[in-house]
Amino acid sequence: MGGKAIKSPFDVTIYKERRAAILQEMPKNSALLLFAASEKTRNSHTHFRYRQTSDLLYLTGLQEPGSALLLCKHAIKKSSHVFVREKNPAMEQWDGRRLGVKSAARFLGVTESIPIKALEKSLPQLLDGTEFLYFDFGKNHGNDRIVSRVLSSMRSREKRGVVSPTHIVDPRTVIHAQRQIKSSAEIRKMSESAKVAAKAHAIAMSMVEPGMFEYELQAGIEFVFAQSGAAAPAYTSIVGGGANATILHYIENNCKLKNGELVLIDAGCELDGYASDITRTFPVNGKFTPPQKDMYQAVLAAQQASFNQIKVGATLEDVHQAAIRSLCESLIEMGIVKGSVDEAIEKKKYSPYYMHGTSHWLGMDVHDVGPYRVNKTPTKLEAGMVFTVEPGLYFQASQKDVPRELRDHGIRIEDDIVVQKRGYKILTEDAPKTVKEIEAQCRKRPKWN
């Protein structure tokens, strides 16, 4: 098992500001308790690479398992307490460095650091006088049992003056609204992640040739991620050639790429805890056929129609409906769908060829936090929100209304967008996207540096 580097993506002052903003939203006599993610066993005595829960990472920058954060807002003071594993040279020799109790308070900028083994003993005193406890019951049964025992212990001593929490509140109600609006520092980090992913997609285009396997392109893309300092792919990379591109979450990536096919790559990286998410589709032999080009232009036009809707006050539903209308226009023009555009939309005639949403929130998670609707009303876009725009068309072999030369073809085009006070910015604009750009990139040799 390798060592774990002790570092944080941002300066400690940023985490202090985030915690202060969360405490500001919490009522008096409240506390928020977050536990670290558990290590996940891969098989036998090996683990998957550790990934902290996004909420705890957002508020502390702490990358270690076996830790927890408690924020307290009592009537006269606010405090922050981190629980971490103690230093253990023997265990660190095997599993990597630990921050340790003595260093944690200063390194993380919290009021106090406490050994994680003392968590259950310490919580009753720290929570005494708390009315509202923000804790995510039901997420981890082990953590649930700890909190249940603490609350039971406190309630048994109420006659002796102990005041225990009477309301359990979902912590997402105070954390996720803040996480949904990205700060300038977060947007810079996401822009870095997007640039790395865009470079990787460009290199895949310059690598591709008939006879390669999908996993070879995956290896090239993920090499660029690692070479650029990304911890890992932000999600399992999708590399689908030919009919595999019509499978939305295809991840086997084990087939040979054939001359005349298109290959769809949906891949992004996680850089310092922030995800990018890009999809590009391009010809295996470097040249679109005329029907492939028409299909590609239809998807590209739908994406541009979606872009035209992006502004403060608009909604992701507006973005989605613009893509649907544009795709319906193209499907009718291609002779695949019959009738008017309005009829095609009303009767969802497009759905056999476009069956997914156009956007999702993006941030620390590739499908990031934030509601899409509040009281059944679509969430309005605000400056600092980041999301994807990813229309597509997917034609199956069994769809006889589709021209024969386009059956078993899937095309998706995806970019990452940040809403600005005026308009928007495409974070992933470095990834070649037009037919001309893609064909030119396919003629180049890979440049790894």
Domains of the chain, residue spans: 12-178, 181-442
Neighbours of 260 (CB within 10 A): 13
CATH of domain 181-442: 3.90.230.10
pLDDT tens digit string along 205-229? 999 999 999 999 999 999 999 999 9
- What does the alpha-carbon distance between residue 220 and residue 202 come to, in Å, rounded to a whole number? 10
CB 213 within 8 A of CB 257: yes
CATH of domain 12-178: 3.40.350.10
In this structure, the strands spanning 132-134 and 30-35 are parallel
- What does the alpha-carbon distance between residue 323 and residue 339 come to, in Å, rounded to a whole number? 18
Burial letters 208-222, b for 16+ CB under 10 A, else e? beeebebebbbebbb
Q: What is the pTM of this model?
A: 0.95
Q: What percent of the chain has pLDDT over 70?
A: 99
Average pLDDT over residues 311-316: 98
pLDDT tens digit string along 109-167? 999 999 999 999 999 999 999 999 999 999 999 999 999 999 999 999 999 999 999 99
CB 232 within 8 A of CB 48: no
Higher pLDDT: 174 or 446? It is 174
* Confidence bin at 5 (pLDDT 50/70/90): low
The tokens describing 44, both together, are: 């036998």
- What does the alpha-carbon distance between residue 286 and residue 387 come to, in Å, rounded to a whole number? 30
- What does the alpha-carbon distance between residue 172 and residue 54 come to, in Å, rounded to a whole number? 11
- What does the alpha-carbon distance between residue 96 and residue 73 come to, in Å, rounded to a whole number? 34
- What does the alpha-carbon distance between residue 148 and residue 82 come to, in Å, rounded to a whole number? 20
pLDDT at 7: 75
CB 253 within 8 A of CB 215: yes
Residue 275 is inside which H or E element, if any?
Answer: strand 274-275
Task: Identify the sign of the CA torsion 180, 184, 189, 192.
Answer: positive
Residue appearing with tokens 């997007």: 194
pLDDT greater than 70 at residue 2:
no
pLDDT greater than 50 at residue 105:
yes
pLDDT tens digit string along 43-66? 988 999 999 999 999 999 999 999
The tokens describing 319, both together, are: 């973005």
Average pLDDT over residues 354-373: 97
pLDDT at 6: 67
CB 71 within 8 A of CB 133: no
Average pLDDT over residues 361-368: 98
CB 81 within 8 A of CB 126: yes
